[in-house]
Amino acid sequence: MTATATSVGEPDRTEPQTSPASRAAERLTRLAPAAAAALSGVLLYVSFPPRTLWWLAVPAFAVLGWVLRGRGWKAGLGLGYLFGLGFLLPLLVWTGVEVGPGPWLALAAIEALFVAAAGVGVAAVSRLPGAPVWAAATWVAGEAARARVPFEGFPWGKVAFGQADGVFLPLAAVGGTPVLGFAVVLCGFGLHEGVRLAVRARRGGGVRRGAAAVALLGVAVPVVGAVAAGPLVSDAAEEGTATVAVVQGNVPRAGLGFNAQRRAVLDYHARETERLAAEVKEGRAERPDFVLWPENSSDIDPFANADARAVIDRAVDAIGVPISVGGVVDRDGRLLNEQILWDPDKGPVDTYDKRQIQPFGEYLPLRSLIEAINDTWTTMVARDFSRGSEPGVFTMAGTEVGLVTCYEAAFDWAVRSEVTDGAQMISVPSNNATFDRSEMTYQQLAMSRVRAVEHSRTVTVPVTSGVSAIIMPDGRITQKTGMFVADSLVQEVPLRSTETPATRLGVVPEIALVLVAAGGIGWAVGAGVRGRRAR
């Protein structure tokens, strides 16, 4: 028996050997989808304010469509999660400005799970006829879930909120943020499908006309639809006009510590209002019909503290018109984030209590569990705010002003309820001092611009420390302040009563798109089961 030419432990030289360079190239090839998923998520982030690169959202979803096409559920989950982290980590970095990176990283990691779930769905429907439509609806379904759970949801980062400067914006008036987001995502997935089919045809492969038509329509229909929706967007006055003043008093210092000088914050807003009153008296500023102060402009309860009430009374007397004051009120054992309508003759005459309060900021979920782990949060949120239950529409000098307090602007239902309750314009009083000079204030301002078009209403944004703004019903910012300066904005604005299709339909478009997504995923799963049985 002859001996083998290869001794034990020596490599079999009959097997083909790969060079280090080829092995490195193979690893890079395997890593390419993961890197592309993460980087396309970053690209989506870059499309958001304060940048005006809204159009980058389209190639971001085109790349996501490429990395997810034909993948199994595990790959879809992982790649979707990487896309979510690439998007949400930089988008939400402001949440850690004052409390450190822990809450920021935890929030981004949890919210990215919803994107990962959407990635599974997109991968599942990617081989179906009309895949871009199913995939875009699946993305919207993921956003719908993220806007509702956990702790009543966190809609921040909806694709629609990055489109305030984009050509798709009129679609907000058609079906709100779900339809606007669907159009952008559909355009991206349609672009991927078109490029894929073009490459296949160039290589000599067959391309079905139906598939080519779907790809073309996926890109064209959102753009054509946005153009067709243009007549829904108008800044014409339907119920006359009102001259509104937005007051930004500024704060003693940025960060969580601004609350330690609550009286100073109130004094700053009163002082800026009195300065405006002097300008009006001298003829250097137009006399407003009413004045809007921001959230937390009086963190001292004016119902329980005579000195705070006196400061507000003096400011209202000086300007001589109603003021909406943002206060923190302790009433009947309930702590409330409240807007107070202060009349120059009658004092406080109406209130609106914030309904969508912020978890870990205004109340602490799972308090006993969190306290056992780390008592830092329980110190910061020593007492939970209570929720309001009714929409807030103040009648101010004959104008119906809908109140949407800060965080509420991210929630579709909270804004719509004010319009259906009769608001002729909307005010979004906010307090961004906690987040210093981060991108948070610009992201929130973009939300208000989308809401203006969605419901065809003037939107004012009074903020303690900036950026405060006046937004026309067509989404244009006509005036704005800087950050961390005392300033006031006075302008005559149009009042409107028309209800857009988005206002009338409410949640219906979102439900329809969720059902489309469910149908597509069900079809894909059923097809997969039948295929396995056939084998």
* Strand order through the sheet with 477-480: 393-396, 399-403, 425-427, 458-461, 469-471, 477-480
Catalytic site residue from 111, 362, 406, 439:
406
295 is catalytic: yes
Structure tokens at 238: 């339907």
Instruction: Indicate the residue type of 51.
Output: R
User: Six-digit token pair at 340?
Assistant: 């107070």
Check if the beta carbon of residue 336 is closer than 8 Å to that of residue 354: yes
Alpha helix (H) residue ranges in 203-354? 209-228, 262-281, 306-319
Assign residue 274 a region (left: φ > 0; alpha: ψ between -120 and 50; beta: otherwise): alpha
Question: Of 338, 354, 439, 454, which one is the catalytic site residue?
Answer: 354
406 counts as catalytic: yes
Asked if 213 contacts 207 with a C-beta cutoff of 8 angstroms, the reply is: no
Reported for 356-360, long-range contacts at CB under 8 A and 24+ positions apart, including other chains, are 356/152, 356/387, 356/407, 356/408, 356/411, 356/414, 357/385, 357/387, 357/407, 358/406, 358/407, 359/151, 359/152, 360/103
326 neighbors 296 (Cβ within 8 angstroms):
yes
354 catalytic, yes or no? yes
295, 400, 439, 454: which is the annotated catalytic residue? Answer: 295
Rounded-to-integer distance, Cα 60 and Cα 68, Å = 13
Does the CA dihedral 115-408-427-302 come out positive or negative?
A: negative
Please state the separation of Cα 116 from the chain's center in Å.
19
* List of residues 6+ apart from 181 with CB closer than 8 A: 139, 140, 143, 158, 159, 160
- Alpha carbons 419 and 413: distance in angstroms, whole number: 10
DSSP type of residue 463 = B
Nearest to 468 by CA among 277, 278, 276: 276
- Are the C-beta atoms of residues 478 and 471 closer than 8 Å to each other? yes
Asked whether 248 and 465 are in contact (CB, 8 A), the reply is: yes
Q: Which residues of 120-159 are buried (b: 16+ CB within 10 A; e: fewer)?
A: bbbbbbbebebbbbbbbbbbbbbbbebbeeeeebbbbbbb
Q: Show the tokens assigned to 48.
A: 């958001």
Q: Catalytic positions, please? A: 295, 354, 406
